[in-house]
Amino acid sequence: MKRTIVFSLFFLLISPLSAWGAPKASFKSLETEGKRLYAAKDYTPAIVKFLQALKIKEKPTLYFNLAQCYRLTDQFQQALKYYKKFRPHIKNLKGLTPQRKLILLEEVTGHIETITRLLAERAKQKRLAEEKRKRELAQNKTPLLPKDGNKDSEKPLIPQRPGPLFSQWWFWTGVGATALFTVSTIFFGVKTLSTNSEWEDTGDKTLRDDARQYQNYTDIALGGAIVAGAVTAVFSYFHLQKIKNYKEPTDNKKVSFLVNCTSAFCGINMGFTF
């Protein structure tokens, strides 16, 4: 009986001690293991180690390590979060020269700006895709062809009269482009003449190069003015011809009158031809 009691007590004492004696991973070991995994490009396991270390101790450099891992695994939302948490601590990092801190600050800021633009673009694309899906869904619910017997489907198509030349958007676009190129031609032409005159007076080779460059700009602007003017003129000609050749739709119904006289009376017969 005594032997049984002693054995039971010994078992109860040993069991808690064995549980207490199980070693827990230290902050240093977790951080070191995370860095090793990061160096081996095992970024997902490295994230686990860094997060475990962060629960033990808040260390700013862990924010940077996590941000890097999340960015390299395309988890940009989390990467942005930890880059932003790390940036305010850069100025207080020990063991870094002011120049190295500045470089690190620029790097982190660049990542933040790039990821922010990327997330905004993804959100935009997602929104556009959703809008497109809704439009397609609405179109599928709308009948594309009129039902049989619909009077609108039996109506002949009547060509619309072309609008005035000055109401066409392409006309004013062409006029504007022609004017812009013309003004540019005049501007660079004047610059060419003045710079060339200065070169002849001073003999400065730099002015000669500038004059040649202005001459090139003048030629380009002149060519643009000619092309824009020609295109506008051609489009205007065809549009005016379309207006000239347009014919108002006429009604096919005809009315005829017939005078009929007899010995007793005279009358007028009116008929319709459909």
Residue 75 amino acid letter: Q
| 101 and 175, same domain (yes or no) | no
Instruction: Give helix 27-39 / helix 43-56 axis angle, nearest 10°.
Output: 160
| 124 and 189, same domain (yes or no) | no
Residue 128 belongs to a domain with what CATH number?
1.25.40.10
Considering 140, 175, 194, which residue would you say is the last residue of a domain?
140
In a domain, 254, yes or no: no
Residue 163 DSSP SS3: coil
How many independent structural domains does the chain possess? 2
What pLDDT score was predicted for residue 214? 84
Whether the CB-CB separation of 221 and 191 falls below 8 Å is answered with no
- State the burial class of residue 52 (Cβ atoms within 10 Å of its Cβ: 0-12, 13-18, 19+): middle
| 39 and 130, same domain (yes or no) | yes
In a domain, 68, yes or no: yes
Residue 120 DSSP SS3: helix
| 130 and 34, same domain (yes or no) | yes
Whether the CB-CB separation of 180 and 221 falls below 8 Å is answered with no
Q: Which residue has the tokens 């500038």?
A: 210
β partners of residue 261: 266
In a domain, 131, yes or no: yes
| 126 and 173, same domain (yes or no) | no
| 236 and 181, same domain (yes or no) | yes
In a domain, 130, yes or no: yes
| Spatial CA neighbour of 236 closest among 180, 179, 168, 182 | 168
Considering 90, 123, 140, which residue would you say is the last residue of a domain?
140
| 32 and 133, same domain (yes or no) | yes
Beta-carbon neighbour count of residue 186 at 10 Å? 14
Q: How far apart are CA 23 and CA 171, in angstroms?
A: 83
CA 85: distance to chain centroid?
A: 28
| 37 and 112, same domain (yes or no) | yes
Alpha helices in 87-168 (DSSP H): 98-141, 151-154
| 72 and 34, same domain (yes or no) | yes
Q: How far apart are CA 204 and CA 195, in angstroms?
A: 10
Whether the CB-CB separation of 204 and 198 falls below 8 Å is answered with yes
Residues 192-250 pLDDT 10s: 988 888 877 887 778 778 888 888 999 998 999 999 989 999 888 888 878 777 776 66
| 188 and 89, same domain (yes or no) | no
What pLDDT score was predicted for residue 236? 86
- 125: its two tokens: 């694309």
In a domain, 11, yes or no: no
What pLDDT score was predicted for residue 1? 41
In a domain, 3, yes or no: no
| Range(s) of the domain holding residue 222 | 165-244
| 133 and 214, same domain (yes or no) | no
What pLDDT score was predicted for residue 108? 96
Which residues of the chain fall below pLDDT 50? Answer: 1-22
In a domain, 256, yes or no: no
pTM: predicted TM-score of the whole model, two decimal places: 0.44
Beta carbons within 8 Å of 155's beta carbon, 6+ residues apart: none
Q: How far apart are CA 62 and CA 84, in angstroms?
A: 12
In a domain, 147, yes or no: no
| 100 and 190, same domain (yes or no) | no
